[in-house]
Amino acid sequence: MNIELFSKNALVGAATQGIGAGIALELAKCGANVTVMARNEAKLKKMASSLPVINSGQKHQYLVADFSNFEEYRRIISEYFSNNSIDILVNNTNGPEPGLAQDKNVDDYQKAFDLLFKTVCETTLLALPHMIKQKNGRIINVSSLSVKEPINNLSLSNSIRSAVIAWAKTLSNEVAQHQITINNILTGYFDTERIQNLISHESQQTGKSQEEIKKARENKIPMKRLGKTEEYGHLAAFLASEYSSYLTGASIPLDGGLNNTY
């Protein structure tokens, strides 16, 4: 199987590091024109310039946008779509702050809703008209295993990501007639800055060492290791390709077998 995404335009959120960067890199390797989106312009410039160019017509660019400021994000993403159309949308944002459900208030949940749900909804609805017109499109939502079983200390993420999955499934049924697919990747434990931050937060709360916490997480995984971002990129590239044209509305665990232990 040789995945070719030549002439396809992709927009990838939170793409300066971690999973987003892994996805952007793999899509570029497959020939797509990739727009990387995040809030740090210096990191975006570096990321966009580091993406491979494998054919003469391939171009990459970046878009500065802060997911945590929804009204400003709405303005920026609307302006982007007034001048651009995309074939592949990867909805990915930074995660909300960890914490227990009893320690969060309604304002915390509203901020998480703006970050995780409203940005995904706004971006997707702006991307759809072009996809509907051309009768083809790929939408990939980076989600979490927490939608199947809540993860301790991630009350905000557990709650809002579940809403995104339900919305995405509903929408996938509506747009399937236009040959547009919408799929979700349920992320397990990957070797990223996000997981390191969560481990650090847990260490501060429990007094356990970060190495001890990391090893405990790895031991829960049948493969006994954290995932690699390039492995995430491989699945995303498949979902972005024509090889996945009959796969939609799915939530696919990518977790080294961890999902099977629940």
Tens-place pLDDT, residues 148-194:
989 888 999 999 999 999 999 999 999 999 999 999 999 999 988 87
| CA–CA distance, 15 with 35 (Å, rounded to integer) | 9
Q: Is a pLDDT exceeding 80 seen at residue 260?
A: no
Residue linked to tokens 């990129």? 233
Contact 157, 144 (CB under 8 A): yes
Helix (H) / strand (E) element for 108: namely helix 106-113
Rounded distance, CA 124 to CA 89, Å?
Answer: 8
Domain ranges of the chain: 9-188+230-254, 190-226
| AA identity, residue 38 | A
Q: Rounded to whole angstroms, how far apart are CA atoms 56 and 46?
A: 20
Burial group, residue 192, by CB count within 10 angstroms (0-12, 13-18, 19+) = buried
Which of 122, 116, 20 has its CA nearest to residue 10? Answer: 20
pLDDT tier, 262 (very low <50, low <70, confident <90, very high otherwise): very low
| Kind and range of the H or E run holding 203 | helix 193-206
Answer yes or no: pTM beyond 0.85: yes
Pick the CATH number of 9-188+230-254 from 3.90.550.10, 3.40.50.720, 1.10.8.50, 3.40.50.300: 3.40.50.720
